[in-house]
Amino acid sequence: GDSVTQMEGPVTLSEEAFLTINCTYTATGYPSLFWYVQYPGEGLQLLLKATKADDKGSNKGFEATYRKETTSFHLEKGSVQVSDSAVYFCALSDPRLYSGGGADGLTFGKGTHLIIQP
Amino acid sequence: DVKVTQSSRYLVKRTGEKVFLECVQDMDHENMFWYRQDPGLGLRLIYFSYDVKMKEKGDIPEGYSVSREKKERFSLILESASTNQTSMYLCASSLSGDSNQPQHFGDGTRLSIL
C-alpha cells in the first residue's frame, strides 16, 4: 500500500538556520504531494503542494520539489524563524486509491516536530 | 476562507458510553473525513464520505461509525467507547474532483476515555 516516510525529530535549530525535512513516499499511482503544518493547539494547515514531477510548491519561504525519480518531496527553508516552530506533515493523495468513491484520502507521514531557538 | 468547525475542543467520557463528535464545514465541500492523531503514529483515516448518506471505511474503522445526513455535517460515533480510543480527532473537508484538492482541517477534538 501507499506510505510516507519522514524524519520524526524533534529537530532543533537556531534562528536563521537552513532547514531540510526529508520526505520519501511509495504509491501505486501518480500521487499529488502535500506538506501540512500544525501549530500548537491547532489543526493542520496546508503549507504547499505539488501535483506532478518537477513541480515546485512554495509558500511562506518554504519550498519542496516533486522528485519522481527519487520518490521524494523534501521541505526546505533558507532561514527559519522562531514562529516556524510546529509539527510538519508530509502527505500524498493517490488518485487510484479511491477511484470508485470520488474522494481522496490522504496518507500521512508521522510528522516532524521542529523547534527553533532564538 | 474555508471554515471547518468541530463542536468540542476537549471531551471526557467514560468507558462504554456512546460518544458523538460533530463536524461542520461552510464551503459546500462534497468530501469529508475523520482522522485520529496519535503520537508516533501520525494521522490515520477512520472514515470518509464523498456525498450525503455515503460513507467509506478508511484504514482504522473498527469501533467507529459515521453519519452524513446533510452535506455540511459529518458526525463520528464511538458506539461503545474504550480507553484505546483516547486520542486527538481531526475532521477535514475537500472539494470533489481529482487528487489535487487539498483538505481543510478543523482544530481537533481531544477525547479522553476514562
Residue B81, pLDDT > 90, answer yes
- Residue B55, number of CB atoms within 10 A of its CB: 19
Partners of A87 in the β-ladder: A38, A113
- Interface contact flag, B43 A32, Cβ < 8 Å: no
User: Hey, are the CB atoms on B48 and A110 less than 8 Å from each other?
Assistant: no
Query: Does B43 sit within 8 Å of A106, measured CB to CB?
Result: yes
Residues 6 or more apart whose Cβ sits within 8 Å of residue B41: A110
Nearest by CB to B105, which of A44, A93, A98?
A44
Q: Residue B101: what pLDDT? A: 80
Residue reference for cell 475523520: B34
Q: Is pLDDT at A47 greater than 80 in this prediction? A: yes
Say yes or no for a CB contact (<8 Å) between B31 and A31. Answer: no
A79 Cα to chain B: minimum distance (Å): 26
A89 CB burial (10 A radius; 0-12, 13-18, 19+): buried
* Mutate: best of B99, B101, B104, B105, partner A, most A CBs <10 A: B99
Distance CA A101, CA A116 (A): 41
Q: Residue A96: is its pLDDT beyond 60?
A: no
In the three-class reduction of DSSP (H, G, I as helix; E, B as strand; rest coil), residue A84 is classed as helix
pLDDT at A109 over 60: yes
Q: Is the pLDDT of residue A1 over 80?
A: no
Identify all chain A residues contacting B93, using CB atoms and an 8 Å cutoff: none
Please tell me what DSSP assigns to residue A90: E
B42/A110 CB distance under 8 A: yes
Lowest mean pLDDT among A23-32, A46-55, B3-12, B75-84: A23-32
In degrees, to the nearest 5, what angle opens at C-alpha B108 toward C-alphas B107 and B112? 150
**pLDDT the model gives residue B42:** 87
Indicate if the pLDDT at residue A103 is higher than 60.
no
Task: Give how far B82 is from chain A: nearest CA, Å.
Answer: 24
Burial (CB < 10 A; 0-12, 13-18, 19+), residue B74, is: buried
**Mean per-residue pLDDT for B37-45?**
89
B45 touches chain A (CB under 8 A): yes
Q: Which stretches does DSSP call E strand in chain A?
A: 3-6, 11-14, 19-21, 23-26, 32-38, 44-50, 56-59, 62-65, 75-77, 86-93, 106-108, 112-117
CA distance A15 to chain B (A): 26
Answer whether A31's CB lies under 8 Å from A25's CB.
Answer: yes
At A101 the pLDDT is: 47
Smallest Cβ–Cβ distance between A104 and the set B90, B99, B106 belongs to B99
CB atoms A105 and B108 under 8 Å: no
